[in-house]
Amino acid sequence: MYLRSNRRVKDGKEHRYWNIVESKRCVGGRVVQRQVLYLGELNDSQKQAWCRVIEAFDEQSQQRTQLALFPAGKELPEHAEGYGVQVRLEAMELCRPRQFGACWLACHLYEQLALDQFWKDRLADSREGTCWQHILQTLVCYRLIDPGSEWRLHRLWFDQSAMGDLLGEDFALVEKNALYRCLDKVLEHKPALFSHLTERWQGLFGARFDVLLYDLTSTYFESSKPADENDKRRYGYSRDKRSDCVQVVIALVVTPEGFPLAGACPERSRREVLAGNTSEKTTLRDFLKKIETQYGKAERIWVMDRGIPTEEVLSEMRQSDPPVYYLVGTPKGRLSKLEQELLAVPWHAVRRGVEVKLLAHEQELYVLAQSVDRVNKERAMRQRQLRALLKRLKELDEMKFNSSQTLLLKLGAAKGKYRAAWRLIDITLPQSKASSAHVTFSFRLNRQKLREVRRREGRYLLRTNLTGREPAQLWQFYIQLVEIEAAFKNLKDDLQLRPIYHQLEHRIEAHIFVAFIAYCLHVTLKAQLRPVAAGLTPRAVLDKFATIQMLDVKFPTTDGRTLMLSRYTEPDIDHKLLLEQLKLTLPPQPPPRISAGGQRVH
């Protein structure tokens, strides 16, 4: 409610008549103003009093009531009798500072994807009043803003955030056991969630899903191998260089813009969280069937790194109806087989500093790409490693060894440290491992291997069943694989997928699923930032909004009650710039509350 004046000129004199007006939102979004009270003409002191009228929640009557605030040292005017409250300004307290801006932005992204409506129909409140959908929303926003364990959320983070204010909940929402029990309820809804998100991204950003990037990564556990043979935590090839730890493998399908598409099938063997000893080559066939089952048959282009598809699966993709197109990296051994044929093919410039050669071979098209920047980078790396290896070998050559075993250990350490450069060196080792007064070795640079390496530096071979496409387009498809690498980096670093403290397998999968939902919010914010400033990252925006704090302002009254106003801080100029560019508006300040006499306001 607010004051509104009507201007009228009578007998050459201007008069202003005041009304208290309430805005009511009706069906269809139309706003209608309702005249609550006609006040007539007001003098300055009366107008000032009416302007201070606020609406507060009275905790004693459990109803909203109108209050007019006056300093404690000033008597209440007659016109304020019945609703006037005298506050002791000198006893004002500022309490419980907490993070507001990032929490509000995370909730806005959550609602923009209509996840609140999606989970409302699937996570009904318990008979005890536990709001599971709000618990899940808190878990997701926590993972996006300041990721950590569920125990930390319960013990520390929730009380230091404004999630309770935004959701209208209190600390009971994050009761420790409720956080874990919520994880038990979400996995069964994975297929429906993927379909829902696909529709939302198409509606919000016009996202297309005809080009798909597919890759796998792993995440490890600092724990012993589980006794259960069916547990997915297993030893395997570790992308994190932690082969000493058990792990699970995570598969992901995303678009070039980073929107994930991989839909989970009900069968446990087809979920994106795979056993830690899963081979990359065994996963693609299941995912092709999974995408086709959930989203129907369509002409899609799958872009993958080498090592994922097998020859058998690629043959099936070529023979399917409609054909499933692919563009995949190729091991360097195949480049050696096709090198002579490629020498006769001319280069085609696709952009400044990048050239490609196209070679049709056995129902496929091979694309040899060469990048000047990549040549310079790989050559500099090779030269730096080769210089360091030669320096170390010269140091070892000048040392005196009493046994060949000591020498071999030193050479083995050098090989492990400079593995790429080691292949370019011919080493002549001692004939016998027996102890000797003078154990020597010799080495020389293999110039033939060096010429071969120089010729292949900055080049990579691709294979595809796409015909009739421009070379520049094929090259552009492949370099977009960096987007899925960025997705894994965001999951592991920005959203801190590790460490995983859960012991039950289904909760491990649910933990990864919650991190995935947080990534969906992350990529949605990134899509909104892309047309505004491509270099502005979601993490930078979240950190900037995190500086908007909320605190409670408490005013004791002369009648023993306490008036509390929860207020977020005024946005700075950089906040306002972001709000303007993202077309966002902060919500209105929360309504005040007034406690009953002798009660404590929380």
Specify the number of domains making up the chain: 2
Which is nearest to 105 in space by CA: 570, 546, 495?
546
Q: How confident is the model at residue 28 (pLDDT cuts 50, 70, 90)?
A: low
More confident residue, 226 or 130: 130
Q: What pLDDT was estimated at residue 239?
A: 80
Asked if pLDDT for residue 102 goes beyond 50, the answer is yes
Residue with tokens 């280069």: 347
Record the tokens describing residue 217, joined without a space: 């990564």
> Phi-psi category of 22—alpha, beta or left, where left has phi over 0 and alpha has psi -120 to 50?
beta
Asked whether residue 75 carries a pLDDT value surpassing 90, the answer given is: no
Q: Could you tell me if 348 and 358 are in contact, meaning their C-beta atoms sit under 8 angstroms apart? A: yes
Give me the pLDDT at residue 601, please: 47
Most confidently modeled of 207-221, 516-530, 568-582?
516-530
Residue 237, in any domain of the structure: yes
When pLDDT is averaged across residues 154-179 and rounded to a whole number, the result is: 91
Of 465, 490, 510, which marks where a domain is finished? 465
> What pLDDT was estimated at residue 496?
80
CB 335 within 8 A of CB 368: yes
CA dihedral 292, 294, 298, 304 (to 10 degrees): -60
CA 272 centroid distance within chain: 17
- Coil/strand/helix, residue 537: coil
Residues 287 and 353 occupy one common structural domain? no
- What distances in angstroms separate CA 261 from CA 15, 136, 282, 304, 359, one per listed residue? 65, 21, 20, 15, 32
Rounded to whole angstroms, the Cα distance separating 184 from 509 reads: 10
pLDDT band at 597 (very low <50, low <70, confident <90, very high): low
| pLDDT over threshold 50, residue 263 | no
Q: Are residues 446 and 492 in the same domain?
A: no
> pLDDT class for 587, splitting at 50, 70, 90?
very high
Same domain? For 365 and 250 the reply is: no
Query: Does 315 score more than 60 pLDDT?
Result: yes
Which percentage of the chain shows pLDDT scores above 90?
A: 27
Question: Is residue 51's pLDDT more than 60?
Answer: no
In a domain, 294, yes or no: yes
Is residue 265 located within the same domain as residue 366? Answer: no
Both 307 and 350 in one domain: the answer is no
Of the pLDDT bands very low, low, confident and very high (cuts 50, 70, 90), residue 270 is very low
Whole-number average pLDDT of the chain:
82
Q: Binning pLDDT at 50, 70 and 90, where does residue 436 land? A: low
Residues 59-71, mean pLDDT to the nearest whole number: 58
User: Is the pLDDT score of 401 beyond 50?
Assistant: yes
Mapped onto helix, strand or coil, the DSSP state of residue 492 is helix
Tokens 């509000």 map to which residue? 104
User: Six-digit token pair at 566?
Assistant: 């929860």
pLDDT at 39 over 80: no
Q: Look at the block and give the residue holding tokens 């930390």.
A: 152
Q: How far apart are CA 55 and CA 593, in angstroms?
A: 8
Tell which of 465, 490, 520 closes a domain.
Answer: 465
404: pLDDT strictly greater than 90: no
Cβ atoms of residues 225 and 233 within 8 Å: yes
Listing DSSP states for 409-462 in one string gives: HHHHHHHHHSHHHHTTEEEE--S--S--S-B--EEEE-HHHHHHHHHHTTEEEE
**Final residue belonging to a domain, choices 465, 489, 513:** 465
The alpha carbon of 147 is separated from its chain's Cα centroid by a whole number of angstroms, namely 11
Looking at the domain assignment, is residue 79 inside a domain?
A: no
Residue 152 maps to a domain: no
Taking the C-alpha atoms of residue 80 and residue 74, their distance in angstroms, rounded to an integer, is: 12
Q: How many residues does the chain have?
A: 602
Q: Print burial letters for 558-587: b (CB count within 10 Å at least 16), e (below 16).
A: eeebbbbbbbbeebeeebeebbeeeeeebe
- Map residue 586 onto helix, strand or coil: coil
pLDDT-based confidence at 473, cuts 50/70/90? confident
Rounded distance between C-alpha atoms, residue 428 and residue 431, angstroms: 9
Q: Quick check: 115 pLDDT over 60? A: yes
Residue 521 has pLDDT above 90, yes or no: yes
Sheet strands side by side (includes 325-329): 273-275, 246-254, 211-221, 301-304, 325-329, 459-464, 364-371, 354-361, 348-351
- Decide: 296 and 332 in contact? Cβ < 8 Å: no
Same domain (yes/no): 317, 389 = no
CATH of the domain at 338: 3.30.420.10
Cα distance between residue 237 and residue 341, in whole Å: 35
pLDDT higher at 294 or 569: 569
489 and 410 in a common domain: no
Dihedral sign, Cα of residue 513, residue 516, residue 518, residue 521: negative
Mean pLDDT of 38-51: 57
Look at residue 111 and tell me whether its pLDDT is greater than 90. Answer: yes
| Residues 254, 261 contacting (CB under 8 angstroms) | yes
At residue 602, does pLDDT exceed 70?
no
Does one domain contain both 396 and 317? no
301 and 355 fall within a common domain: no
User: CB neighbours of 394 closer than 8 A, spacing ≥ 6?
Assistant: none
| Residue 417 pLDDT class (50, 70, 90 cuts) | very high
Evaluate whether residue 229 is within a structural domain: yes
Q: How confident is the model at residue 435 (pLDDT cuts 50, 70, 90)?
A: low
Residue 516 buriedness (CB in 10 A; 0-12 / 13-18 / 19+): buried
pLDDT of 268 reads: 33
pLDDT by residue (tens digit) across 279-307? Answer: 777 888 888 888 887 777 777 889 988 88
Residues 426 and 400 in one domain: yes
Complete edge-to-edge strand list for the sheet that includes strand 2-10: 2-10, 13-25, 31-40
Q: Which helix (H) or strand (E) covers residue 509, if one does?
A: helix 505-529
**361 and 232 in one domain?**
no
Q: How confident is the model at residue 267 (pLDDT cuts 50, 70, 90)?
A: very low
Overall average pLDDT of the 99-119 stretch: 96
For residue 362, tell me if it sits in a domain.
Answer: yes
Q: What would the mean pLDDT of 526-554 be, rounded to a whole number?
A: 89
pLDDT for the residue numbered 64: 61
Is the pLDDT at 266 greater than 50, yes or no? no
Report whether pLDDT(343) > 50. yes
Mean pLDDT of the 449-478 span: 86
Q: What percent of the chain has pLDDT over 70?
A: 83
Residues 198 and 304 occupy one common structural domain: yes
Q: Which domain holds residue 515?
A: 191-342+466-529
What is the per-residue pLDDT for 573? 84
> Residue 467: pLDDT band by 50, 70, 90 thresholds?
confident
Which pLDDT belongs to residue 430?
Answer: 72
Is residue 106 one of the residues assigned to a domain? no
* C-alpha span between 419 and 433 (Å, rounded): 24
Q: Is residue 104 part of a domain?
A: no
Beta bridge partners of 327: 303, 464
365 pLDDT more than 80: yes
**Per-residue confidence (pLDDT) for residue 549, from 0 to 100:** 95
| CA end-to-end distance (rounded Å), the chain | 26
